[in-house]
Amino acid sequence: METKSIMIVGVGGQGTLLASRILGNAVIGEGYDVKVSEVHGMSQRGGSVVTYVRYGEKVYSPVIDNGGADIILAFELLEAQRALPYLKKGGKIIVNSQQIDPMPVITGACEYPANIAGYLKENADTTLIDALSLAKCAGNQKAVNVVLIGVMAKNTDIPYDVWVQTIKNTVPEKFLEVNLKAFDLGYNS
């Protein structure tokens, strides 16, 4: 199998790290070689965050370059557009419709681009999803990350049961019910 490259982008604090860990553990359950690259430290403080997950027979680089991502899972609109150059030709973007203003927009130094969703759709195979509403439905707005994992899961060839088991192994017991519900809402959206 050719190596699959999935990029998870968002805003520090949105839970991209947990999403990449669930994804990484789900693919080893399937017997693949896998590498996950994370960013810790300063960029986690409300900045743009990017994690990469790559899996296949043998994976060397843990990092995805421009033009290299099969799937981009974006937790926020502006971050989806920022990540667009990383998408492979024919790749797919799954994007949460949430808008989080970065500080230069808040201070008025620049404007949040209008109609990012339209821009993405013009340039790539785009699935737009209101993951925040679904997370609230599941019982906790912080479960946005797992809703999005659910949407993405449907776009991989990893079976449903493997995902559920991985979430059970990764998420703390007291948040499990909310997260399983969030996953299902994403998976069935």
The residues that touch other proteins, with contacts defined as CB under 8 A, are 11-13, 21, 24-25, 28, 33-48, 59-63, 65-68, 78-79, 81-82, 84-87, 89, 98, 100-113, 119, 123-124, 132, 141
Residue burial 69-97, b: 16+ Cβ < 10 Å; e: rest: bbbbbbbbbbbbbebbebbbeebbbbbbe
- Least distance (Å) from other proteins to the CB of residue 42? 4
- Indicate the pairing of strand 48-56 with strand 33-37: antiparallel
CB closer to other proteins out of 118 and 188: 118
Measure the CA–CA gap between 145 and 137, rounded to whole angstroms.
14
Residue 126 burial class via C-beta count within 10 angstroms: exposed 0-12, middle 13-18, buried 19 and up: buried
CB closer to other proteins out of 61 and 188: 61
- Least distance (Å) from other proteins to the CB of residue 109? 7
CB closer to other proteins out of 113 and 159: 113
CB closer to other proteins out of 119 and 187: 119
